[in-house]
Amino acid sequence: MATYVLVHGGGHGGWCYRPVARLLREAGHEVHAPSLTGLADRAHLVGPHVDLDLHIEDVRALLHAEDLRDVVLVGHSYGGMVVTGAADRAADRVGKLVYLDAATPAAGESLVDVAGPIIESTRPFGEVVNGVELVLLPAPGAGAFYGVTDPETVAWMDDRLTGHPWKCFEQPLTLTDEAAFRAIPQFHVVCTSTIPTRGPELIAEARAEGRLWDIDTGHDLMLTEPRAVADVLLEIARA
């Protein structure tokens, strides 16, 4: 039995992994899909203190509180920033690291550094609420921004998406034990359309080592192609 920890991206919550989590559990595995502080079911906790470091601590604390070991740690989109930091700070608990169409930062980089044009384009449409600058604000049909086209799924997302503190996107990632982090096997599951935007060396190396999968779908691939994503995650656990 494998243990998966699935970390969501900006504006989302643990809810976005529901279809994938169901498939993984049906295959006999343990699955945790937490919502990060200030988002989804934890949106009431949003405040000036919410940043990338806090989200990294959310995941690190979960690994320790639940005594999880040899975890398959998965991050989607902004969640790539979070799982990189969490794997660095709890390397002894992470067996495999999976980037699900996610940011793959180096030490000292922020999400703005990694995905500048895309993430910067969201800022003009944000607003300050109770002293917190929020972006990715929910709006009818917002699921289309994430590559979701099914009307029922988009409507389901409309009821669950929440604004995301901009502070999380501009805070640089700090690595505390890069050697231990780099020793964790890393796998990449990307949308076919995003491959040209990714570092050619990273893609070439991952492909040559059999650690790259691409799925021809929208950015929220865990919602648009849950079976394909679950199958890849099951394959990675067996690797």
Q: List the catalytic residues.
A: 77
The kind and range of the H/E element at 25 are helix 18-26
Q: Which amino acid is at 234?
A: L
| Spatial CB neighbours of 193, under 8 Å, sequence gap ≥ 6 | 216
Asked if 91 and 183 count as a contact pair (C-beta separation under 8 A), the reply is: yes
Are β-strands 127-129 and 132-135 bridged in parallel, bridged antiparallel, or unpaired?
A: antiparallel
Give the tokens for residue 44: 């009431």
What is d(CA 188, CA 117) in angstroms, rounded to the nearest whole number? 22
